[in-house]
Amino acid sequence: MTIAWCSVVERQPPMLSVSCADTHHTNIGIKKHQAFSVNIPSEDMVERVDYIGMYSGKKVDKSQVFEIFYGDLENAPMIEEAPVNMECKLINTVVTGKGHEIFIGEVIAAYAEEIYFTDGTLDITKIKPLAYSTGQQKYLTTGDIIASAWSVGKNLVKKR
Ligand SMILES: Cc1cc2nc3c(=O)[nH]c(=O)nc-3n(C[C@H](O)[C@H](O)[C@H](O)COP(=O)(O)O)c2cc1C
């Protein structure tokens, strides 16, 4: 499924969460296999990402839309074309009671090709991830780097 509501929740061990409406086909697989993967799509995957997000696996077979591969977990297929893949073991499930299940997974392995790195760090300008504006229901590209985090804010300290 296409998912916008994904977040980092822990550093060590690395964990993330995905909030999935409990009617989705994906939820059945996550609960059955106690595993899932998160794949960051690039701009050029926009059509397929949107398609995956509109049609449920309960009605159509989406298994051929992307080329898939497996890592250490047997039941967490990952998307070959996606620049970044993370395979996760299900650690916890929070049921909101309002229609969503929040799956918290430990990232047991992550994959990205060398071409997406600069000086040993993943480079967002090379990954060109697809961004999504929920209110506008539009896909966007990410722009240029504008400042250094944990750094540019110090300018205000100096001025005071
Ligand atoms: C851009 C976009 C973002 C989406 N984000 C979420 C999300 O964060 N949580 C969710 O439950 N569904 C989200 N969806 C909807 C699911 O991807 C969609 O209902 C999908 O068909 C579910 O597939 P499944 O039934 O095969 O699991 C999103 C759809 C789109 C197009």
pLDDT digits (tens, 9 = 90+) for 39-49: 999 999 999 99
* CATH code reported for the domain at 6-159: 2.30.110.10
Supply the residue whose CA is at minimum distance from atom 18 of ligand 1.
53
Domain boundaries, the chain: 6-159
Task: Tell me: cis bond preceding 13? Omega within 30 of 0 counts.
Answer: yes
- Residue pair 64/56 in contact (Cβ under 8 Å)? The answer is no
Distance from residue 117's CA to the centre of ligand 1 (Å): 29
Low-confidence stretches of the chain (pLDDT < 70) are 159-160
Question: What is the C-alpha separation between 50 and 43, in angstroms, rounded?
Answer: 11
- Which one, of 64, 63, 105, 114, lies nearest residue 84 by Cα? 114
CA dihedral 102, 43, 139, 48 (to 10 degrees): -70
Question: What is the C-alpha separation between 134 and 153, in angstroms, rounded?
Answer: 27
pLDDT at 160: 63
Torsional sign, CA 57, 61, 65, 71: positive
Distance from residue 41's CA to the centre of ligand 1 (Å): 14
Q: What pTM was estimated for this model as a whole? A: 0.96
- Which one, of 103, 32, 113, 41, lies nearest residue 73 by Cα? 32
pLDDT at 158: 72
